[in-house]
Amino acid sequence: MENNAELQRFLEQEKQKAMVSEMVGKLTSVCWDKCITGTPGSKFSSSESTCLTNCAQRYMDMSMMIMKRFQSMQ
């Protein structure tokens, strides 16, 4: 019985890791396409940096809101 509970915890942790990895990949893709309009140089311009920061924050806020909504539905 204990092994089953450990397995369930492990599977849940792996599922969460996969979700975080997928979220980071999507965030990177969406924000890069939105904010980096030209060929990137050795560093981001201030407008690109601001755009990336704002985009990532909005993406994370929306993701948290969606997760909380799903949790409240369970």
Write the CATH number for 46.
1.10.287.810
Percent of the chain past pLDDT 70, that is, above it, reads: 96
**CA separation, residue 13 to residues 6, 19, 27, 62, 65 (Å):** 11, 10, 21, 22, 21
* Domain count for the chain: 1
User: 3-class SS at 30?
Assistant: helix
The yes-or-no verdict on residue 12 having pLDDT over 60 is yes
Q: pTM higher than 0.75, yes or no? A: no
pLDDT for the residue numbered 64: 86
- 21-57: pLDDT as tens digits: 888 898 889 999 999 988 878 899 999 999 999 999 9
The yes-or-no verdict on residue 1 having pLDDT over 60 is no
Range of the structural domain that residue 33 is part of? 2-73
Residue 73 makes CB contacts below 8 A (sequence gap 6+) with none
The answer to whether the CB of 59 falls within 8 A of the CB of 30 is yes
